[in-house]
Amino acid sequence: MRRALPIAAVLLAASAVVLLGTGADGDGDDYRVRAIFANAFSVIPGEDVKVAGVKVGKVESLEVTADQKAAVVLRIDRAGFQDFRRDAECTIRPQSLIGEKFVECEPTQPRPDGAPAPPALRRIDRGDAEGQYLLPVQSTSRPVDLDLLANVMRLPERQRLSIILNELGTALAGRGPELRQAIRNASPALKETDKVLAILGDQNRVLEDLAVDSDRIMAPLARDRARAADFVAQAGTVATAAAARDTALQRNIQRLPEFLRQVRPTMQRLGGLADEMTPALADLDAVAPDVNSFVRQLGPFSQAADPAIARLGAASAVGREALVRTRPIVEDVGRFARTARPLSRDLRALLTSVRDTGGIERAMDYIFFQVGAINGFDAVGHYLRAGLIVNTCSSYAITESPDCTAKFQEQAGAEDDAGAASARTAATAGAAKPYADTRRSPDLRRLDAYLRGLDPDTAVPTGTPPATPSKQPAATATPPARPAPTPRTPSDEAATGLLDYLMGG
């Protein structure tokens, strides 16, 4: 029983390994490219498939097609490279001097930013190659190996080569297209040369202009050939200095692609900014003469402003002291502002509500309609329905009157009470007591005497000082003699007339 347990554990582990291995081999995520080569000599399964020097897969198998071509199945393991396009190319290259090979591929050709990508490779839907992506023979190549070229120089290969070259013309007569295809497949450089020649053929007009312009450029260079020679010499010096720093330059060049990728969004935004700035720059170009004149006149202006700037610097020293002293006030204002913030917020809400609900307009409507309600209108026009209440205290007076003040006066003596009682008795009896008051104008004194129930004619004339009432009883009082009238100046008469006019005198 003890022996059965280890055996069962080993069997279970082996089963798991088999299942995991089978699952890995049957994983459908692998991307397979069926590349058709005219010659796949010395290529074996398991060799590397590289893209730009990076290993991305393996050579899975090799087959011979019905038209005597080599079908090399490339298994691409890296997900980032599982997207071959119609313009993809693959080449068989030597990996070492011992004859080991690898397949180098380009999933797609470089294209300008924003250009549409070519369509993907055609997927094979039936047969033994179902699920693979077909790369035709026109997109593959295999250069001649160096060891084969070296073998040509040995006997008897060189003799046989001479025989082949002698008979080549006869053997290839009438087989131009096949020979052209074989040469293109034998040398990828010739294929690239064809592409370059096609591009140059499309740019023949540009090349013609280049030749004409180069003649124009070479003429000044011929005149200044001494400077051109000096440029070449200086370029040699620069090249020598660059060679001394080749390690640093190599690091910079290695970092350049990443730098360009990071700077691309900035350059795109800069391009958009340049497009938006084009109208502004056009307007600036139109006003360039005025800007030049402004810049020329700015020099004298700045020189004339030097004294003012110097005085401003001196004033800033004084102003700094003032600012330092105002700091407590500013802090108090800040605290007040923080304290008043709730009130300001509520006041703002109130005023906003009054504004939004039309409170100001309604208040103005009330004033308008209220004034319209108390105003009358007749054939002549509007008149105000109001009554003027006139009493002793509403009249203009020069000095303060005890009867019209809110201040409490001290009580007079017995003699004052007796004199006041006599005066009230005489007034009640209807006696015509003279009115003596110099605090007011003659007209106001007459009006005041009338309102008091006295005889207006007995008022003191204008300019006559009042008689000082005696402290004796009214029945025995002897009126004092009147002093001579005080002469009045024109300014006093003008002031008195103006006040009488304003106060209704």
Q: What is the pLDDT of residues 200-217, one digit of tens each?
A: 787 778 878 887 888 788
Among residues 455, 467, 459, 462, the alpha carbon closest in space to that of 441 is found at 462
Say what the pLDDT of residue 29 is: 62
Greater pLDDT, 129 or 452: 129
Say what the pLDDT of residue 6 is: 43
Contact indicator for 43, 92 with CB cutoff of 8 Å: yes
Contact indicator for 35, 74 with CB cutoff of 8 Å: yes
Q: What is the pLDDT of residues 299-351, one digit of tens each?
A: 888 888 888 888 888 888 888 888 888 889 999 999 999 999 999 999 999 98
Measured at the CA of 307, the angle between CA 304 and CA 311, to 5 degrees, comes to 145
Residue boundaries of the structural domains of the chain: 29-142, 392-402+415-476+490-502
Helix (H, G, I), strand (E, B) or coil at 225: helix
Count the Cβ atoms, other than its own, within 10 Å of residue 132. 22
- Confidence class of residue 475 from pLDDT cuts 50, 70 and 90? very low
Weakest mean pLDDT among 29-33, 153-157, 445-449: 445-449
- Please tell me the distance from the alpha carbon of residue 177 to that of residue 393, in angstroms, as a whole number: 134
* Average confidence (pLDDT) over 57-77: 92
φ and ψ at 47, to 5 degrees? -75, 160
Count the Cβ atoms, other than its own, within 10 Å of residue 43. 18
**Residue 496 pLDDT > 70:** no
- Please tell me the distance from the alpha carbon of residue 390 to that of residue 504, in angstroms, as a whole number: 11
User: Under 8 Å CB-to-CB from 56, ≥6 apart: which residues?
Assistant: 49, 50, 76, 77, 78, 81, 105
Say what the pLDDT of residue 358 is: 87
Say what the pLDDT of residue 410 is: 55
- Confidence class of residue 488 from pLDDT cuts 50, 70 and 90? low
- Token pair of 12, please? 């279970």
Count the Cβ atoms, other than its own, within 10 Å of residue 90. 23
- Token pair of 471, please? 């402290």
The per-residue DSSP string of 144-157 comes to PPHHHHHHHTSTTH
Q: What is the pLDDT of residues 344-391, one digit of tens each?
A: 999 999 989 988 988 888 889 888 888 777 777 777 776 666 666 667
Greater pLDDT, 371 or 493: 371
Weakest mean pLDDT among 98-107, 108-117, 261-270, 465-474: 465-474
The per-residue DSSP string of 330-380 comes to HHHHHHHHHHTHHHHHHHHHHHHHHHHTTHHHHHHHHHHHHHHHHEEE-SS
- Token pair of 473, please? 């009883």
- Confidence class of residue 13 from pLDDT cuts 50, 70 and 90? very low
Say what the pLDDT of residue 438 is: 54
Q: What's the mean per-residue pLDDT of the chain?
A: 76
Greater pLDDT, 2 or 99: 99
Sheet order of strands, 48-51 included: 122-123, 133-135, 31-37, 70-76, 54-64, 48-51, 101-106, 89-94, 140-141
